[in-house]
C-alpha cells in the first residue's frame, strides 16, 4: 500500500505527469552550494528536515512562501505571496506566461525534455499520429517539425535531439493519407496562445488576488535561478489539486529546473509505519 494514499497525500497530478509520484532527490540536495530559489507551495513543513531550508539560505537560497493566509511559515520566508485558496494553478500558469513573453524560458530544455514540440492538428485539437499520415502505424507515434526536413517522426526511444532545433512555434500544412491537408502546430504554440489569452499577470489577478508585479518578480527568479518546489502535503488534498500539481511541473519545465542539483519537485510525505506487535 502507498501510505500517502492512506493519509490523503497521494500526488495524483504528479503521477499523471510522470507516471510515478516521487521525482525528487534526497533532502540534502536542498542546500547544494550554489545560489538557488526555493518556492514553498504553499507552506513549510514543520518536520525534522526544516534545517535543510535554513541552511540553504547560507548558500544564497531564497524562500517564497505561497499560501492563502499569513501562517507561521512566513516568518522563515524571504517573500510571502498571499493568494486566493486553491488558485495556485492560475498563479503557476501566469508565471509561465511571463517566461514566454519575456523570452526567459528555457527553450532548449522544453524542446528536448517535454512534449512542447509535438505537433497538434488545428482541425480536431488532437496530436498528429502515424495513422493520420500513413493510414496505418502506431497511435503513439507522434511528430515534430524539423526546420530543414519538415515533418519528422518523434523518436520513441530517446528524448535526445542531437542538436536538432525542432519547432516550438509556427503553423505547418501536412498532407494526410486520405489526401486532405491539415494545419498543425507545436504544443508550445497552443499553450502560449492560451496563456496570453487568459493568464497574463494582469488577467490572473482577479483569480488569485496576486499583484502583477509579484508575478513578474517570482517568474524572473525562477527562470534565472535553480528552483525547487516543495509540494508535499497540500495541493493533493484540494479539489482539482491534480491540476495544481501539473502546473507546478510545467513551471519547472518552462524554466529548465529538472535534472540538476537544487531543482525539481518535492513530493514526499512521511506516512504511518507499522511496527510489529510485542510478544
For the stretch 71-86, pLDDT in tens is: 777 788 889 999 998 9
Predicted local distance difference test score (pLDDT) of residue 107? 98
Q: Compute the half-sphere exposure of residue 205: CA atoms within 13 Å on the CB side of its CA.
A: 9
Grid coordinates standing for 73? 511559515
Predicted local distance difference test score (pLDDT) of residue 254? 98
Q: Please say which residue of 161, 191, 221 terminates a domain.
A: 191
Band (pLDDT 50/70/90 cuts) for residue 270 is low
| Residue 150 falls inside a structural domain | yes
- Mark whether 167 and 251 lie in a shared domain: no
Q: Which of 194, 6, 238, 178 is nearest to 94 (CA)?
A: 194
pLDDT beyond 70 at 129: yes
**Cβ-Cβ contacts under 8 Å for 86 (sequence gap 6 or more):** 238, 239, 240, 241, 244
Grid coordinates standing for 136? 496505418
Q: What is the pTM of this model?
A: 0.91
User: How far from 227 is each of 64, 178, 263, CA to CA, in Å?
Assistant: 11, 47, 5
Range of the domain at 145: 107-191
- Mark whether 124 and 215 lie in a shared domain: no
Which DSSP category does 30 fall into? Answer: G
Grid coordinates standing for 82? 498571499
Alpha-helix runs per DSSP H in the chain: 3-6, 12-18, 50-58, 88-101, 107-113, 130-134, 187-198, 201-208, 212-224, 241-254
Amino acid at each position: 500500500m502507498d501510505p500517502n494514499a492512506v493519509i490523503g497525500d497521494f500526488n495524483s497530478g504528479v503521477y499523471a505527469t510522470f507516471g510515478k509520484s516521487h521525482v525528487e532527490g534526497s533532502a540534502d540536495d536542498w542546500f547544494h552550494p550554489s545560489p538557488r530559489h526555493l518556492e514553498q507551495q504553499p507552506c513549510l513543513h514543520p518536520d525534522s528536515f526544516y534545517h535543510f531550508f535554513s541552511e540553504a539560505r547560507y548558500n544564497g537560497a531564497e524562500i517564497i512562501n505561497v499560501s492563502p493566509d499569513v501562517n507561521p511559515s512566513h516568518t522563515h520566508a524571504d517573500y510571502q505571496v498571499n493568494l486566493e485558496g486553491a488558485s495556485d494553478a492560475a498563479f503557476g500558469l501566469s508565471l509561465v506566461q511571463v517566461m514566454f513573453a519575456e523570452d526567459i524560458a528555457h527553450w532548449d530544455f522544453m524542446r528536448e525534455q517535454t512534449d512542447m514540440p509535438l505537433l497538434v492538428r488545428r482541425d480536431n485539437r488532437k496530436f498528429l499520429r502515424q495513422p493520420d499520415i500513413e493510414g496505418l502505424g502506431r497511435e503513439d507515434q507522434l511528430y515534430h517539425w524539423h526546420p530543414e526536413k519538415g515533418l519528422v517522426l518523434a523518436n520513441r526511444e530517446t528524448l535526445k535531439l542531437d542538436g536538432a532545433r525542432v519547432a516550438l512555434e509556427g503553423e505547418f500544412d501536412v498532407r494526410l493519407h486520405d489526401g486532405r491537408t491539415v494545419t498543425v502546430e507545436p504544443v508550445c504554440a497552443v499553450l502560449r496562445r492560451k496563456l496570453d489569452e487568459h493568464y497574463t499577470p494582469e488577467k490572473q489577478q482577479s483569480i488569485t488576488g496576486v499583484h502583477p508585479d509579484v508575478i513578474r518578480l517570482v517568474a524572473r527568479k525562477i527562470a534565472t535561478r535553480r528552483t525547487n518546489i516543495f509540494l508535499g502535503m497540500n495541493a493533493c488534498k484540494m479539489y482539482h489539486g491534480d491540476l495544481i500539481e501539473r502546473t507546478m511541473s510545467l513551471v519547472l519545465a518552462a524554466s529548465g529546473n529538472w535534472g540538476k542539483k537544487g531543482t525539481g519537485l518535492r513530493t514526499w510525505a512521511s506516512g504511518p509505519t507499522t511496527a510489529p506487535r510485542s510478544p
